[in-house]
A = this chain, B = another copy of it.
């Protein structure tokens, strides 16, 4: 990991990529809602999509296209998810890809599309394609261009989310940069999130796919906002090869270096998404260790991260370890309550039957004031350990989701 350097940047940081984001009135006036990410040539590419059986049209379309392993352009929009729109929605997705390909004079098999926003509305194709053409005119390689693209995919996000690192592979400097959107409905596997990652590493489609899956397992799939899972989640990774390293064709030091850089970007984006969870006032890492198995640890951590009672207690600054242990208790993981410990950061709240007294509660009160803390449950039953990134459940979460749509 020592070779990795974190820098500021996003999808335009790696060599070989241009991006743009423009306003096209997909749903609202006066905000960016159409983005383009375009590579100088077809890139090795991979993508991972939602497992929701109700998958949006762009997901259904992209799943087929990405099998080719080479992608040059991605057209994305916010304001309309193009989900639950049936055959017509699928035609809309395809048509927007075809027109984009035509505009750039490239083969449609190199073009992906991504949508996010309200479910059950048809894409306003005329405005989307006008936006695509305007975005084409606006393409560029600066950080500003990357930021504009990111702004165009945001929905209830309050902050743009970008991450970038450099590393060295075979003596060459390689850059991996990305952007993502998603603040509600984020749950493994990747609900209502879109992620776009570009790199100038030279790597085969097969290896890029493997690297992406590994990175997602350690980042986006460890993210819980509200436990809902969306119809549109997609993470895209494009590699231009412009860094000039020897093409990564198999596992080994080069692959590991690439994977680590990619993971660093994905984890950063995932953390930014939890921090910006709808209405979130706190970023919380839930770690369960000492579980009988890693699977037990993961299901227990997820149950705590999804528990409305635990989440509201964090919002209320209440070190309510009882709700945490109750969630572990119904998670399906093996737990013996009198062997368990619950910590907030490194301060214990419950330890093998011993309950925090006034003095300990005062220490806990300090932790609960923080904007970010870790809830650690040690089950003392084995070696299994797993962490989930999440946030609290606030009044604003309800405001945001009661008022969104219609």
A313 touching B405, Cβ below 8 Å: yes
B401 touching A313, Cβ below 8 Å: yes
A320 touching B405, Cβ below 8 Å: yes
If A328-B54, A406-B361 touch, does A401 touch B353 (CB 8 Å cutoff)? no
B312 touching A229, Cβ below 8 Å: no
With A and B bound together, what is the CA distance between A87 and B354 in angstroms? 11
Chain A contacts with B in 78-123, Cβ cutoff 8 A: 81, 83-88, 118-121
B191 touching A350, Cβ below 8 Å: no
- A375 interface contact, C-beta 8 A: no
- As for how many copies of this chain the complex holds, the number is 2
If A323-B119, A334-B53 touch, does A312 touch B402 (CB 8 Å cutoff)? yes
The interface on chain A, measured as residues whose beta carbon lies within 8 A of the other chain's beta carbons, has a size of 66
With A and B bound together, what is the CA distance between A330 and B84 in angstroms? 14
- Least CB distance from A114 to B in Å reads 17
If A86-B353, A308-B397, A326-B230 touch, does A402 touch B53 (CB 8 Å cutoff)? no
If A53-B335, A86-B338, A184-B309 touch, does A119 touch B322 (CB 8 Å cutoff)? yes
If A308-B226, A334-B53 touch, does A121 touch B355 (CB 8 Å cutoff)? yes
If A118-B322, A228-B326, A406-B319 touch, does A312 touch B397 (CB 8 Å cutoff)? yes
- Least CB distance from A284 to B in Å reads 14
B394 touching A306, Cβ below 8 Å: no
Chain B, residue nearest A225 (CB): B308
Residues of B within 8 A of A323 (CB): 119, 228
Among B121, B330, B403, contact of A53 (Cβ-Cβ < 8 Å) = B330
Q: Mark A296-332, 1 if CB is under 8 A from B, else 0.
A: 0000000000111100110110111111011111100
Residues of B within 8 A of A321 (CB): 120
Residues of B within 8 A of A325 (CB): 54, 84, 119, 231
Among B53, B185, B402, contact of A315 (Cβ-Cβ < 8 Å) = B402
With A and B bound together, what is the CA distance between A323 and B54 in angstroms? 10
Chain B, residue nearest A338 (CB): B86
Chain B, residue nearest A306 (CB): B227
B54 touching A316, Cβ below 8 Å: no
B54 touching A84, Cβ below 8 Å: no
With A and B bound together, what is the CA distance between A327 and B230 in angstroms? 8
A327 touching B401, Cβ below 8 Å: no
- A52 interface contact, C-beta 8 A: yes
Which 7 A-B pairs give the minimum distances between C-beta atoms? A119-B322, A316-B402, A54-B329, A312-B401, A86-B353, A229-B330, A52-B329
Cross-chain pairs A/B with CB under 8 angstroms, 20 sampled: A51-B330, A52-B329, A53-B330, A53-B333, A53-B335, A54-B326, A54-B335, A83-B322, A84-B355, A86-B338, A88-B353, A119-B325, A227-B307, A228-B307, A228-B308, A228-B323, A229-B326, A316-B404, A318-B404, A398-B398
